[in-house]
Amino acid sequence: MKTVVSVALASASLVTASPLAFAQRAVTALDQAAFEEAQQPDATATKAFSGIQIQTSDKRCLFVDELSGDFRANLTPIQVGECGSTDGQGWDIITSGKHNNVADSMLIVSTLTNACFNFDPRRAAGNQVLLFSCGGRADGGGEVTDSQLFPYFGGTGPGMFSPENDAQSCLTVDGDVLSVAACATNNNDQMFTFGDDSANVSIPAQPSDPIVSSGSSATTASPVATTTGQTTGSVDTTTTALASDIRATASSTGAAEASSPATSDAPAESIPDPTEAVPVSRAGGTLVPTAAAESHERDNTATRVFTSVSIKAPGGQCLFIDPTAGDFRQNLIPVSLVDCAGAPNEKFDVITAGVHNDAQDSALLVSSLMNGCISFDSRRPAGDTVTIFSCGGRADGGGLTNTGQLIPFTGGTDLVLAPESDRNVTCIVPGTGRLDSAPCSNDGSQVFTILT
């Protein structure tokens, strides 16, 4: 009878990145502020074990290299190496806490990075088992996601890790990384044990000692009850909460950027929306097209009072979006000001109702080219408070309505861009080569015009 550890499939909105090779995704350094926000320890958590090794059947150990993922230490592969030969071989087994509210379940959390085991079947084969921010949000704002929960009934194993909604699949050692394959009771590559001979954990000699059992009547070993720390915000759905969420998300994403990407007030040539990995100006350094597509999914249910129109700023220039001027998801793109030429980069949809707008007499200004929303975030550095960001205010595209993206609109072609998140007292205005923000003047000098 096989004993299993299970982890459920990832929700469709949670893990966003392309199946790039590990070497392509590796970073030379973490964005410390973004990392600390994404991978906060949960001080309320109960641990069955703390800082233990997880051994494979050939006595190697699972480990993580914190620089093998993205700038937040998300999407890091779970690697396999000689025990004691590398850092990152410690793991915490959390049985309850902010990111685990399910009885008889556990999170497997890196002691080094505080990220959780995560299984995402949407990703490319061989790249579905990775570490990700506990709770399932890239910025650390998640609560509980079943993509990170494994049934747990005590003990140290050996046992198998099997996704809850795919009982025929098990995590498996594939060379020097952890992957997934069809479960096979005779496959030693799918057997794992908590602890090692030097750890403060008792490992019974019997191979039948359960780490977990999917519905079996296994006896439970006495866990080492400890608490650790992992605080992440809840996944809020109210407009007010989401308004603050975009501030926290965008602020952390760009915290290390003292200056924004260069912009120009000269006429601009059309820049296509890339569908392949290309250099980008902000975090990540390289566009991840699948992540960008998920972050900026078009809302086909939306009410568009204008489609693919140019917007002229006071002074006569038009708004312009360079899809390569943001981060790897096409978030935090400056809204440039250029001489009007009718390029696709100048085109916007004006949305008055939809998935990301549930307010009356308000509108979103959405890039027709790449589907991002003009967003205001007062917490960002001066000169960089107005950018294109995922509609709804979640970096990964999982947000609903965000008041930092809503402006007053009752019809017509004249717009005063006064975000509702700042109670319409701050206005989006022309800055040096790009949009900026300033107190509303209410004298007609801050009126933008929709060109029809």
Nearest one of 361, 348, 337, 425 to 391, comparing CA atoms: 348
Which has the minimum average pLDDT: 35-49, 143-157, 203-217, 308-322? 203-217
What pLDDT shows up at residue 230? 29
Domains and CATH numbers, the chain: 4-228 (2.80.10.50), 239-451 (2.80.10.50)
Q: For residue 211, what pLDDT band results from cuts at 50, 70 and 90?
A: very low
Alpha carbon of 92 to those of 48, 227, 326, 417: distances in Å?
8, 10, 35, 48
Which has the minimum average pLDDT: 51-65, 214-228, 373-387? 214-228
Q: What percentage of the chain carries pLDDT values higher than 70?
A: 76
Separation between Cα atoms, residue 40 and residue 43, nearest integer Å? 9
Residue 102 near residue 151, CB atoms below 8 Å: no
Beta carbons within 8 Å of 69's beta carbon, 6+ residues apart: 25, 26, 27, 75, 76, 77, 130, 131
Separation between Cα atoms, residue 26 and residue 67, nearest integer Å? 6
- Supply the mean pLDDT for the chain: 79
What pLDDT shows up at residue 245? 28
For range 23-35, the mean pLDDT: 79
Which has the minimum average pLDDT: 53-62, 92-101, 195-204? 195-204
Q: Which has more confidence, 140 or 262?
A: 140
What pLDDT shows up at residue 284? 73
Nearest one of 330, 308, 315 to 429, comparing CA atoms: 315
CA–CA–CA angle 110, 34, 356 (5° rounding): 110
What is the tens place of the pLDDT at every residue in 63-121?
A: 999 999 999 999 999 999 999 988 999 999 999 999 999 887 889 999 999 999 998 88
Q: For residue 186, what pLDDT band results from cuts at 50, 70 and 90?
A: confident
Residue 152 near residue 48, CB atoms below 8 Å: yes
Residue 238 has pLDDT above 80, yes or no: no
pTM above threshold 0.75: no
What pLDDT shows up at residue 298? 97
CA of residue 313 relative to chain centroid, distance = 33
Phi, psi dihedral angles at 32 (to 5 degrees): -60, -40
The secondary structure element, H or E, covering residue 293 is helix 289-295
Residue 171 has pLDDT above 90, yes or no: no
Separation between Cα atoms, residue 288 and residue 196, nearest integer Å? 38
Separation between Cα atoms, residue 386 and residue 420, nearest integer Å? 14
Residue with tokens 């060379």: 175
What pLDDT shows up at residue 267? 53
Residue 12 has pLDDT above 50, yes or no: no
Nearest one of 261, 262, 292 to 274, comparing CA atoms: 292
Residue 283 has pLDDT above 90, yes or no: no
Q: Which has more confidence, 367 or 124?
A: 367
Separation between Cα atoms, residue 206 and residue 351, nearest integer Å? 63
Residue with tokens 């929960």: 149
What is the tens place of the pLDDT at every residue in 372-405?
A: 999 999 878 889 999 999 999 988 898 899 999 9
Alpha helices in 22-152 (DSSP H): 22-25, 32-38
Tokens found for residue 230:
């992992």
- At 133 the three-state DSSP class reads coil
What pLDDT shows up at residue 196? 61
What is the tens place of the pLDDT at every residue in 109-158?
A: 999 999 999 988 888 888 899 999 999 999 999 999 888 887 776 788 78
Q: Which residues on adjacent β-strands are paired with residue 334?
A: 387
Q: For residue 166, what pLDDT band results from cuts at 50, 70 and 90?
A: low
